[in-house]
Structure 1
Amino acid sequence: MDYDKLKGVIEGLLFISGDEGIDAKEISEITEVTEEEVIDLIEDMKADFRRAGRGIQIVEVAKAYQLTTLPEHVPYFERLATSPGQSTLSQAALETLAIVAYKQPLTRSEIEEIRGVKCEKALNTLLSKQLIREAGRAEGIGRPILYATTKEFLEHFGLRELGDLPEPPVNLDIEEARLEASALFGKAEEATND
């Protein structure tokens, strides 16, 4: 694999790994180049990002590399996060919210088991928008946090109570669930934005 293509692959891996990051050893195993080459490539990418004036950077935290935004751009990100136009939810957040709404209270691992993917970012988004809340702790090892919807959830989606949620179809596959979530929550989003 040529040098530029390899840098592109590493950038993609860093992006996909999100907040958890990815270490040089794992990148090495995936790309089939040595750890030393990976580290050299990452250092080169850091310099490329700086030279190009990019809005992202590569940082190493606890021996894992992450893509992050530049600290000097934080005021802009804060404006974005608090702007009224940013009230829409991602598909992942909608799916997570639908699961919490229908199955509450439940833990993050239970949500992830249903969705088949990690949901930490979606949960944080829903918590920050006060659509879900921590509803106590589950019994068992580690006493994980239980999540449930909030009064704001009911208000946001125009529901008097959870019983007003439409009945979920039996044997619903994940694609149908996505369409259902988009249809239900998309209409409510439009109504609140009007």
Structure 2
Amino acid sequence: MSNEERPDSLADQAAAWIPPWQRPAPAPPENPTPPTDPTPPAADAADLGPQVPLQGRSSSKIELVEERAGGRVGDDGETGEGVSAEGVTGEGVSGRDLGANVSGEGASGPGRKRSAARARPVAEPPPELDDAELRGALEAILLVVDEPVSELVLAQVLEQPAERIGPMLDEIAAGFAAAGHGFELRRAAGGWRLYTRPEYATYVERFVLDGQSVRLTQAALETLAVVAYKQPVTRSRISAIRGVNCDGVIRTLVTRGLVEECGIESDSGAHLYRTSTLFLEKLGLNSLDDLPPLAPFLPDDVEELADAAR
């Protein structure tokens, strides 16, 4: 055998060997394959095609699916990634969703939740009453109230805008006055209430009293007048104005609800008193500003009397 035909010796082969890190990089192929992701992507039912039947898979096909999907079939038939016993699923997709995908009934993407949005019924606004019906409803309510009722309460009860109630009450009051009824509608204590007309007071008094005296005593009337015009006022101040002790009269007025406590005087620590809402209601007044002035009832020499009292 000649030297040319004789294979190289081990020494020659070792001398000609090149380490892998020094070898030139191979030329890339014409159709490069995408790099392999260490985390296998979720299997798609469309990629699996006919190789993944939903029912009656063979073990070989299951192995093929496992190899392509990168997952394993769990014992419970459903896995987070890879293949489930009901079909091939993506991440967070159940086998039932995949079955719907393959059959063309719809797709459920990863993490997508199906929820049927229920339309909530919208409450319809209450119907707006016409003027005639609103007038009749207000008159009916005012006939049964036992104390003045405000416009806001009437609007809430009738479920109507508050801006319609005030003008309608003014119209009703004007209609009663024009018709000459024995009663009238007027404001009192921040609300509205029906009252008998002053010219018919004697007949009403005869019917209500029926021989029984329920009037306040003269002392109670004087004390109530002092509280009404001087409020808030203490009991000692009332007694000084009247010239007599009025503790018992004050207790009577408080018991009847015509006078109420409203705090304590900072200097003396005495209780302060004022008239109540019932007082305005009984007198038919809307506020204390409607009280008649005292000047016409004062004597001409009131200043001389005041100086003499000092």
Q: Same fold (TM over 0.5)?
A: no
Bin the TM-score by the shorter chain.
0.3 to 0.5
Length-normalised TM-score, structure 2: 0.27
Higher helix content, 1 or 2: 1
Length-normalised TM-score, structure 1: 0.43
